[in-house]
């Protein structure tokens, strides 16, 4: 088979609404490398969008899934439960940020986790309204879309969004938005349009994912915590992309001196299998009536088994420290490249959740074309990159945290070559 042939079949068989970053069709993968159906090898700096933090096909994840698949693949936990679902909840309750009693529910996707966190907050408070941030991404369901602070491609053409969802600006110094302005926007919202007594939750990504890898300042988190405490609002940390060692902490909120009431998680939770969760204050998590939460595939046994292995790997291989070391090397290399690349206006990100932002050569405006040229030049050299950002001008780096040093060094060389080629147009 050839990639081009399969791509034509895809166009005939799959909705064009399912976007595709490459025309490369995977045949096998190992750690941070992917081989396509033509036998070409690629270095993976995407990790399935921060899903395989522990690498493609980690032996311990594979062994755990193989053991489980021989036992049973599905019973539906709400019908015939299984112990490892409970023990995984116990582990997440213990490790999720916050010094309070916690409980957990499992679902299947990050969007479901967000949906259920909102349901929990509404059930617990009896209030309808939710506040999110511009540039945030919370999924493609209708509530997820409504919370997401980016119109194209996520909201365009889908009609009216969910009611009682409000947005305020996310602080980004590079774009002239300060923490004071963001918190001030909340104050103005409460004065002009929304009684804080109607607000069930404020949801925030500690580091915006699709929005451009902007990290929430500590002052913002402290301000949100104080505001939520004052008005009885539930604070939700969307850790779908930031969780499981990606930022150099198990969860990004571990880097702050305040905790959210609820934490959503998915992506890196199960090493490539679909599993998501909401973990939070026990009293809030118990607000919904039996049957109000869950789902047929929620907490599928294969995902549960994989997740236990992932948590073991993160601890045994000290992947939080590894993320910090790799991120430091990556940022150092990017800063070197930046000295001769006027289009690169910023390098940022905690741990191994790193991004480079590109503007026009004179720095006057975001340059999505340049960022995309970097991505396409890299792909031609067999390096897989992702772009992001409200303006599409950010290249994000999400290689598996287990990437071997020699493969990482090779990828960095290819990255530099790709940026040089992009500068030539």
Q: Rounded CA gap, 358 and 97, in Å? A: 34
What pTM did the predictor assign? Answer: 0.97
Alpha helix ranges (H) inside 43-141: 47-50, 59-71, 83-95, 110-125
Read off φ and ψ for residue 155, nearest 5 degrees: -110, -20
In the chain, where the domains are located: 3-54+318-423, 61-316
pLDDT digits (tens, 9 = 90+) for 129-185: 999 999 999 999 999 999 999 888 899 999 999 999 999 999 999 999 999 999 999
pLDDT digits (tens, 9 = 90+) for 303-331: 999 999 999 999 999 999 999 999 999 99
SS3 content of the chain, % helix, strand, coil (to 5): 40, 20, 40
For the domain spanning 61-316, the CATH number is 3.40.640.10
Asked if domains 3-54+318-423 and 61-316 share a fold, the reply is no
Half-sphere exposure of 145 (CA within 13 A, CB side): 16
Question: Which parts of the chain sit beneath pLDDT 70?
Answer: none
103: which strand partners? 280
- Which pLDDT does position 105 carry in this prediction? 98
CATH topology for the 3-54+318-423 domain: 3.90.1150
pLDDT digits (tens, 9 = 90+) for 290-306: 999 999 999 999 999 99
- Which pLDDT does position 20 carry in this prediction? 81
């Amino acid at each position: 088979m050839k990639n081009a042939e399969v791509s034509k079949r895809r166009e005939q068989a799959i909705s064009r609404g399912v976007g595709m970053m490459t025309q490369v069709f995977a045949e096998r993968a190992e750690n941070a490398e992917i081989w396509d159906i033509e036998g070409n090898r690629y270095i993976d700096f995407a990790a399935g969008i921060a899903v395989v933090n522990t690498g493609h096909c980690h032996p311990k994840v594979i062994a755990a899934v193989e053991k489980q698949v021989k036992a049973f693949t599905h019973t539906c936990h709400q019908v015939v439960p299984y112990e490892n679902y409970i023990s995984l909840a116990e582990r997440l309750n213990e490790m999720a940020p916050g010094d309070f009693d916690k409980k957990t529910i499992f679902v299947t996707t990050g969007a479901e986790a967000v949906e259920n966190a909102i349901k929990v907050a509404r059930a617990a408070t009896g209030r309808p309204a939710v506040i999110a941030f511009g540039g945030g991404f919370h999924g493609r369901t209708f509530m997820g879309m409504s919370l997401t602070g980016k119109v194209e491609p996520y909201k365009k053409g889908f009609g009216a969004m969910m009611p009682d969802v409000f947005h305020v600006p996310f602080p980004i110094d590079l774009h002239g938005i300060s923490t004071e302005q963001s918190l001030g926007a909340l104050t103005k919202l409460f004065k002009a349009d929304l009684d804080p007594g109607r607000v069930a939750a404020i949801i925030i990504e500690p580091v915006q994912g699709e929005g451009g890898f902007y990290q929430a300042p500590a002052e913002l988190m402290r301000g949100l915590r104080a505001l939520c405490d004052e008005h009885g609002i539930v604070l939700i940390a969307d850790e779908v992309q930031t969780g499981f060692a990606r930022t150099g902490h198990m969860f990004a909120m571990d880097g702050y001196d305040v905790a959210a009431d609820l934490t959503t998680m998915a992506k890196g939770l199960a090493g490539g299998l679909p599993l998501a969760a909401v973990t939070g204050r026990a009293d809030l998590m118990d607000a919904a009536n039996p049957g109000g939460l869950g789902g047929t595939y929620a907490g599928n046994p294969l995902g549960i088994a994989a997740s236990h292995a992932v948590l073991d790997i993160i601890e045994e291989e000290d992947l939080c420290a590894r993320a910090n070391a790799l991120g430091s090397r990556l940022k150092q290399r990017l800063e070197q490249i930046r000295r001769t690349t006027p289009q690169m206006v910023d390098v940022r990100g905690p741990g191994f959740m790193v991004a480079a932002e590109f503007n026009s050569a004179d720095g006057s405006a975001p340059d999505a074309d340049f960022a995309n040229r970097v991505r396409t030049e890299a792909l031609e050299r067999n390096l897989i990159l992702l772009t992001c950002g409200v303006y599409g001008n950010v290249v994000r780096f999400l290689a598996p945290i287990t990437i071997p040093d020699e493969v990482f060094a090779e990828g960095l060389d290819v990255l530099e070559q790709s940026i040089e080629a992009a500068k030539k147009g």
